[in-house]
Structure 1
Amino acid sequence: MAGVYRVDLRRPLDPCLAVYGAYWNRGVACNPAAVYAKARELVPHIRGVWVVSSRHRDRMPPGVPYVIEGSRAYWRTMATATYLVNNSSFPGGFTKRPGQIYLQTHHGTPLKTMGLDQLPYPALTNGVSFERIVAHTDQWDFSLSANPHSTETWDRVYPSSYEQLTYGYPRNDVLCTATPELTGRIRAELGIAPGSTVLLYAPTHRDYRKGFVPRLDPERLTRALGPGWVLLVRAHYFYGRSAGTVPGGRVVDVTGHPCVEELCLAADALITDYSSLMFDYACLDRPVITYAPDWDAYRAARGTYVDLLSGRPGDTPGAVATTEDELCEVLRSGAWTSPEADALRAAFRSRFCPWDDGHAAERVVRRVFPVPSN
């Protein structure tokens, strides 16, 4: 395959070909998906092709072109596409050619240390090569930033000569523009009864643990809250497509749901620990509850940029709990919707969502692709 790839590298670039990837080839998702959709609208002459691993090919929506990572078609696509869009990295180590344009969208606002800031935490970086991080960064032409905090962080931890696109996250456009009708349809598709109070529990992974070990008993929580409450449980994608919860009842396992933005729209509030989803969910101006039972361990293991438990405006997004009993009390007492929680959320949104206005994807496409003038 290497010899054939070298031949393909001598072929001319296709000015009408773009290749997309997300979450290490898990399918159509995140910022690349929003850019792809907007590019089909604004530059329909540019054909978009997705990279997907063979074990995730069933995730591909009907009619969306794709190539399997490592295949002959993959290497030819990587050799000849003019535009490269990814929120992580393309597999296999490709050669970026002169004339190729690489947009790195990233996939979250950084709470934990990233890039070169991980150097003090070598035991938990799974053997990551910092030399490869720098080499990968040198391939980027554009780095997308969700907010000023991200811009400052990317500049430091991924040092190179790319252009920062301070546009906000395209994946959040739908959170800014969704109608009540769309939200109602999503809730109906999830089987949520009208009038229910819906909580989305979305914990992140721990670098110092293996597998999904939730620090919350979903069944116990919903029993304590009583009728009318529904808990959507979404495990981190590192752990597969199931959170391992018992199906049925008022606890719904949505780990395998293809679109986390739809889950955000369905939820009246987000419960999370250290997931970057909190920064995106804040666009909705709905309550964010920090449930942090192992904050000290998490912070010591990986390092963080934001002190979620400080109670400072701009750092803490809303109500805080460190035990299951505290979380239950936050919900039953109404502390999650109190004026104090609202004020914290407003400051958090001001810091982390200043560019989210529903038009980020359009800004990205108009900067990266040759959009015809009207």
Structure 2
Amino acid sequence: LSTVRSTQYSTKIFSKKIDNIIIYESFNGKSFSDSPRMLYFYLSKALPEYKHVVVSDNDTLDEQLAHLNIETVKKNTKKYFELYNNAKVWIVNTRLSPQIKKKSNQLYIQTWHGTPLKKLANDQTVISIPDVTLEEYLYGFNKETSRWDSLLSPSEVATERFQSAFNLENDQILTLGYPRNDDLINLNNADYAYQLKQKYNIPTNKKVVLYAPTWRDNDRVDIGQYNLKLQIDLEDFNKQLGNEYVLAIRAHYLVSEHLNLDRYDNIYDLSKANDVNELFLMSDTLITDYSSVYFDYANLHRPILFFAYDKDAYANDIRGFYLPYEEELPGPIFKTSEDLIAHIKSGEYEKIPHSEEYKAFTHKYNYLDDGEATKRVGEYIMSTLIKEKEFQ
């Protein structure tokens, strides 16, 4: 969720003029990734007459983007609010500050960041944020969604869930696939995986198990910051699997706690990696819980394991699911670290992608992941801009 910082600047002082600017924001400026990144590279080539600006909220990202000659703006600065006020197109994958006022002649493309497994917004019946009622939470969320011109969706199933969660009309949802998944189709090869292991200093002779858990709404440090309490027994993983495997941990972007893994030779904290797709592509197996990452990962046709040690509490007290959690999962569920590690050690996990359940899952949810989603969404944005000019 987007955090709101106090600022001395008011959008009222800004000009009403709209300029040929497209602004891109991924995960509140914490990274240059996901669908906004893919659309940046497509649209910056296709629309050279526009100014393309990426939102950044950290100095490391500033340096990386400067090296690529990508113009940036620091989040929540005066220039940041000015750009949103003046930009013709906004391309964002999370919520924006309510201080940013959208004009009717601006185009807001909300790419979102996953297929809904957990209940969202108006579909939620419980809220676990301290000192916030469900009514207050929904009021803020609906204020946000009322600004969206279009929301991207990866499948018809996701579209149905987005409609009810965000109170959107069907024509506001673009069921075109997620641009971010194009790389999972187009870069899925052994040579690239080898290069990525070298990039992240991962031993190239070991298999990579990627652990990507989600956050718990009820374990909050501050607004938009949550704890990460690992339940995998790292000592046991090292002892049982360390000769053949490494464990790469990718914490959710909302999790605040830094992992101290220095004493483990075969366990890596890759939470700050800019692009999760790179971690997907270099890994051999995914472990997750209630994160939607497994919908994307299934495009690689690699094993997926579900470590759901608090499933009942999560379903009943924290968020809830659109379907019973066990239904349609493309892999087995584990409640203890011991059973999870034993399953990996046995090698049984390698059979998972060949199951009928896995094949049915990808057919239902990933049929639009064909490596062309960026092009489809990019062409939609360009055609919308052309139509608007013709109308004017």
TM over 0.5: yes
Partners of 2:59 and 2:127 lie apart in 1 by 33
Runs of at least 5 residues in structure 1 that lack an aligned partner in the other structure: none
The residue that corresponds to 1:142 in the other structure is 150
Report which stretch shifted further, 93-102 or 260-269.
93-102
The equivalent of 2:166 in structure 1 is: 158
**Rounded Cα–Cα distance in structure 2 between residues aligned with 1:191 and 1:94:** 41
Map of 1:366 onto structure 2:
379
1:207 aligned partner: 217
Alpha-carbon offset, residue 92 of structure 1: 4.7
| Cα distance in 2, alignment partners of residues 188 and 208 from structure 1 | 37
Question: Against the structure 1 CA distance between its residues 197 and 340, is the aligned structure 2 distance closer, same or farther, given a 3 Å change threshold?
Answer: closer
Partner SS state of residue 254, structure 2: helix
Question: Does the CA contact (< 8 Å) of 1:21 and 1:90 recur in 2?
Answer: no
Partner residue, 2:368 = 355
1:77 Cα deviation after fit: 0.8
The range that moved more, 342-351 or 75-84, is 342-351
| Distance change >3 Å, CA 218–CA 180, structure 1 → 2 | same
Determine whether 1:31 maps to 2:35: yes
- For 2:130 and 2:105, how far apart are their aligned partners in 1? 33
Percentage identity across paired residues of the two chains? 28
Length-normalised TM-score, structure 1: 0.90
- 1:3 Cα offset (Å): 7.5
- Rounded Cα–Cα distance in structure 2 between residues aligned with 1:90 and 1:350: 33
Match of 1:227 among 236, 243, 248: 243
Mapped pair 1:195 → 2:211: no
The count of residues paired between Structure 1 and Structure 2 equals 363
**Correspondence for 1:104:** 110
How far has the Cα of 1:42 moved from its partner? 2.1
Instruction: Report deviation, 1:166.
Output: 0.8
Counterpart pick for 2:141 among 128, 133, 151? 133
Residue 47 of structure 1 corresponds to 51
Query: How do 1:329-340 and structure 2 match up within 5 A?
Result: 329-338=342-351
Q: Aligned pair in 2 of structure 1 residues 126, 20: CA closer, same or farther (>3 Å)?
A: farther
The residue that corresponds to 1:170 in the other structure is 179
Query: Which residue is equivalent to 1:243?
Result: 259
After superposition, the C-alpha distances for 1:193-246 in whole angstroms (9 at most, x for unaligned) are 333111101111111224110111223113212412111111222224733323
Q: Does the CA-based 8 Å contact 1:290-1:308 persist in structure 2?
A: no
CA distance in 2, matches of 1:34, 1:260: 13
Is 120-129 or 149-158 further displaced after alignment? 120-129
- The AA in structure 2 aligned to 1:144 is L
- Structure-2 residue corresponding to 1:116: 122
Distance 1:206 1:2, change over 3 A: closer
User: For the structure 1 residues 277 and 363, does the alpha-carbon distance in structure 2 shift closer, same or farther, using more than 3 Å as the test?
Assistant: same
Using the size of structure 2 for normalisation, the TM-score is: 0.86
Aligned letter for 1:187? Answer: K
Q: CA deviation at 1:105?
A: 0.5
Secondary structure (helix, strand or coil) at the match of 1:122 reads coil
Residue 318 and residue 74 in structure 1: after superposition, are their counterparts in 2 closer, same or farther (change >3 A)?
same
Report if the CA contact (8 A) 2:303-2:353 is conserved. no
- Measured against aligned partners, the alpha-carbon deviations of 1:133-186 in whole angstroms (never above 9, x if no partner) come to 222212111110011221001111111345211111111110000033222110
State whether residues 234 and 243 of structure 1, in contact with CA within 8 Å, keep that contact through their aligned partners in structure 2.
Answer: no
The aligned residue for residue 303 of structure 1 is 320
Partner of 1:281: 297
Q: Alpha carbons of 1:125 and 1:317: their partners in 2 closer, same or farther (altered >3 Å)? A: farther
Instruction: Give yes or no for contact 1:291–1:327 (8 Å, CA) kept in 2.
Output: yes
- Does residue 268 of structure 1 match 2:281? no
Task: Specify the alignment match of 2:26 in structure 1.
Answer: 22
Is the CA contact (8 Å cut-off) linking 2:11 and 2:99 kept in structure 1? Answer: no
Match of 2:4 in 1: none
Unaligned runs of 5+ in 2: 1-6, 221-226, 387-392
Distance 1:339 1:239, change over 3 A: closer
Do residues 259 (structure 1) and 275 (structure 2) align?
yes
